[in-house]
Amino acid sequence: MSDYQASVIRDPHAMPAHALSAALSAGRLTSTALVESLLERIARYDAKLHAFIAVYATEARAAPGTPSVPCTAFPSRSKTSSTSKAA
């Protein structure tokens, strides 16, 4: 594993989806470590960025473990707000 790959595994939020999938499949990264890393990053920056209306950390941590099928999708985030008024 290169120095770059080792440092990226410590910061999985910086990895593209295909690299996350490969790291999860190879056992270099666990789903629990990925979720914790992402939740920590949200906690660190969301007070300033206001990117999330709600974060379901408890639900995200509820079922850790190894998936029974390969990882084919990753959760995403989107920010929506209702600012338009009905005519």
pLDDT tens digits along 43-52: 999 999 998 8
User: 17-34: b or e for each residue (b if 16 or more CB lie within 10 Å)?
Assistant: eebbbebbeeeebeeebb
pTM of the predicted structure, to 2 decimals: 0.62
Beta carbons within 10 angstroms of residue 8's beta carbon: 19
**pLDDT band at residue 8 using 50, 70 and 90 as cut-offs:** very low
> Which pLDDT score is estimated for 43?
93
**Domain spans of the chain?**
3-61
